[in-house]
Amino acid sequence: MDISIVIPALNESGKICFDVEAAAIFLKKQDFLGEVIVVDDGSTDGTAEEAQKASFPSSVELEIIRLERNTGKGAAVKAGIEKSRGEMVIFADSGTCIPYENALRPIERIRAGELDMAMASRRLKETVIRRNRSLKRRVLSWLFRLAARAAVGLPRRFTDTQCGFKVYKGKVARELFAACITRGFLFELEVLLRALERGYRVEEFPVEWTCDLDSRLRPGHVAYKVTKDLIKIRKILSKK
């Protein structure tokens, strides 16, 4: 199988059908043999049922994983990647904020043996922002980068670890996520640091990005959890 696309979802019944169809259309259009894996992270609004209603070509496989309770975005993505079979894996947030065609260049580079992991960044000069985040969220993002650099030594060359669109070599993704223990939003930071520790080649790439105004992320509500996760990640790394 060429590509697995993993989409975590929490109460996304209004968007998930479009997300699945967009992913399937991309795979079909590019003639990739692939699968779309939706991980319903304990939704209460029928997200899994809506995903099942999506129309997609017979050449694309759809798998829906239902977690009985909300365990966190990191746990949901991990569950999907562990089930993946693709030579490459794409992780994409619900809401289709970034067109899947933006992944084509990273896919080419991974196939050529130049990269192991590619991360979308909203902060590169070539990136096109169609609709931006609120000022509050941009300030919080800036503060998070400072905290990550201070707490866990995040290299300055990485500008946007939390953008929900990444491309991995399949076996690398499955290896990294098997070791990942962060269940919340900072799983991406832990996975990146593990990748660098193991010598994998990681780069950011520019994208076209449109802010999802219906995002489930509430920055103020997760600040305490983020602080705890940063401390936990630092402890993990200090034991190496």
> Is 143 a residue whose pLDDT tops 90?
no
Q: What percent of the chain has pLDDT over 90?
A: 74
Q: What pLDDT is recorded for position 147?
A: 73
Strand-pairing partners, residue 185, are none
d(CA 10, CA 55): 21
Q: What pLDDT is recorded for position 227?
A: 64
> Is 184 a residue whose pLDDT tops 90?
no
Q: Scanning the structure block, which residue is given the tokens 């795979």?
A: 27
Q: Residue type for 9, please?
A: A
Measured torsion, CA atoms of residues 164, 32, 83, 238, in degrees rounded to the nearest 10: -50
Mean pLDDT of the chain: 90
Which of 143-152, 177-186, 226-235 holds the top average pLDDT?
A: 177-186
Strand, helix or coil for residue 3 = strand
> Is 196 a residue whose pLDDT tops 80?
yes
Residue 54 in tokens: 């999506």
Q: Residue type for 128, please?
A: V
Residue (of 4, 5, 236, 210) closest to 122 by Cα position: 210
pLDDT one-digit tens code per residue, 48-78:
999 999 998 889 999 999 999 999 999 999 9
| Contact between 130 and 209 (Cβ < 8 Å) | yes
Domains, the chain, ordered by start:
3-238 (3.90.550.10)
